[in-house]
Copies of this chain bind each other. A is one copy, B any other.
Amino acid sequence: MSKPIYIINGPNLNLLGTREPEIYGHQTLADIEKLCAIAAEDLGYNIRFFQSNIEGELVDFIQEAGSQGSVIIINPAAYTHTSVALYDAIKAVSIPCIEIHLSQPAARESFRRRSYVAEAANGTISGFGVKSYLLGLQAAIHLLEASA
């Protein structure tokens, strides 16, 4: 069977459903994991789903994906804007990487304009709430099949 798709979630995303729902919506991260698992299965893929508030653990997940996964979907949340470590990790692995965001960072505080992750990732999907994950899944599979 093919290697799983890694879906990696950054800081504070474990609060989804409770935190600022007017920006982030009402679904929990567990809800999103289920939706992604089902959607992936429908397309013949399986996923591994992670969350951590710790930048270095996100680096760990990216590294693990590099050896055991086929493609990375990452919602780096706050670390999007400050983490050279994530940038380096994505550059260091040889599988594709897709950056996703629930909200549209460019339309928020000015410090959210720069994304180190976008500078390393193959592509970016932002602003569609939970749908960003599902579009990310499709994009991931597209990249996998395009390079297959």
Contacts and interface: CB of A to CB of B under 8 A. Distances in A.
B124 A143 contact: no
Contact of A104 (B56, B121, B132): B121
A146 B80 CA distance: 27
Contacts of A46: none
Contact of A124 (B11, B53, B82, B125): B125
Contacts of A111: 84, 116
**What does DSSP make chain A's interface, helix, strand, loop or mixed?**
helix
Nearest to A136: B135
Nearest to A112: B84
A36 interface: no
Interface stretch (A1-9, A12-20, A27-35): A12-20
Contacts of A139: 125, 128, 131, 135
A114 B139 CA distance: 23
Given A12-B63, A113-B114, A139-B131, A53 B123 contact: no
9 contacts: A12-B85, A14-B63, A15-B63, A15-B92, A78-B84, A82-B84, A82-B85, A113-B114, A124-B124
Interface of A: 10-12, 14-15, 18-20, 52-57, 59-60, 63, 66, 77-85, 87-89, 91-93, 98, 104, 106-107, 110-116, 118-128, 131-132, 135, 138-139, 142-143, 146
